[in-house]
Amino acid sequence: MALKGIDDPFHDGEKVLQLRAGAREKLAEVVHYFVKTEMPEQHQEFYALLSSLYLGFTEKDGSPRAKLLIGKPGFVSTSAGQFVNIQSPGRHITEAIFVGQCVGGLGLLPAVKRRNRFSGKVVKNTPDLLQIEIDQAYGNCPKYIVPREFSPVAADAPVLAGETFETFPKTVQQVIEQADTFFISTACKAMDPDHDGAADISHRGGPPGFIEILSNTKFRVPDYIGNLHTNKRASILFIEWDKGNVIELVGNVDIHWDEPSEVDGPRKRYWDFELVSGKVITNVFQNK
């Protein structure tokens, strides 16, 4: 039986930016083919292979957060095509999440350039199980996925969170300048209560240097994201793949259209991220 598609899953901010980018009409024609209300079978099989999962959620004050979860393959499973089950999610997740909270999930297999996403609400949150009832499930194209062998396991050393910083330390700035991948969590503010507070986490990639450092608190990315039209707050993860560290940044975003950039001249659109706070979490994983 064919899964039910969603005719118009987009909220107000996404629609505004789709119109400005000239993509609204085309997306409206095809979106129900790839955004589903249930998890397709191939997606269920995909999530069962994962040893990592990226999770975006909103805190009680509406601020988005992004987190990386690590586990043995099978720690993420699905049930009845409607639920995503995460085994032993860890205190950093269970203490930050509450039942009824909006979340978005992203699974990535960079070695084979596959990624799938879901969104929904938390229905169970215990130290043993985080369960999410999905309302949207969809795949993404492999564009900008950098192939790399990434089979993380829990690190032998204890996970440690460094001191909070409000300007980029030199080491963090170097990671950003050399990055070919990062993850951003956003949340929308919408007049429609079905969309208000909906959380998302997405992957962004490009050649090293595609992120333009503007100052010790700001960088620029060629892109646009619909949630950022209505809610400027964002949470960003940079991964130190070789060290097993995760850089968590929280800040505000401004979208720019039809303005030049020093890196590659005129652009149709880009956005600037202004840091509010950040920290480096060490020993999150080791790459087996």
pLDDT in tens, 91-109: 888 888 999 988 999 999 9
Q: Which residue has the higher pLDDT, 6 or 106?
A: 106
CB 72 within 8 A of CB 153: yes
Mean pLDDT of 45-53: 95
Return mean pLDDT, the chain: 82
pLDDT of 174: 97
- Is the CATH number of domain 12-287 1.10.3720.10? no
Give the tens place of pLDDT for each residue, 118-167. 999 999 999 999 999 998 888 888 888 888 888 888 877 788 888 999 99
Q: How far apart are alpha carbons 204 and 221 in whole angstroms?
A: 9
Q: How far apart are alpha carbons 179 and 211 in whole angstroms?
A: 8
What residues does 87 pair with on adjacent strands?
129
Each domain of the chain, given as residue ranges in start order, spans: 12-287
Sign of the alpha-carbon torsion through 255, 251, 196, 3 = positive
Q: How far apart are alpha carbons 170 and 74 in whole angstroms?
A: 38
Task: Give the range with max mean pLDDT: 13-22, 63-72, 94-103, 165-174.
Answer: 165-174
Mean pLDDT of 65-81: 94
pLDDT of 226: 45
Give the amino acid at 252. Answer: N
pLDDT of 36: 78
pLDDT beyond 90 at 197: no
Least confident range from 31-35, 97-101, 154-158, 284-288: namely 31-35
pLDDT beyond 60 at 213: yes
Q: How far is CA 38 from the centre of its chain?
A: 20
Q: How far apart are alpha carbons 23 and 57 in whole angstroms?
A: 27
Mean pLDDT of 242-265: 79
Mean pLDDT of 166-183: 97
pLDDT of 2: 45
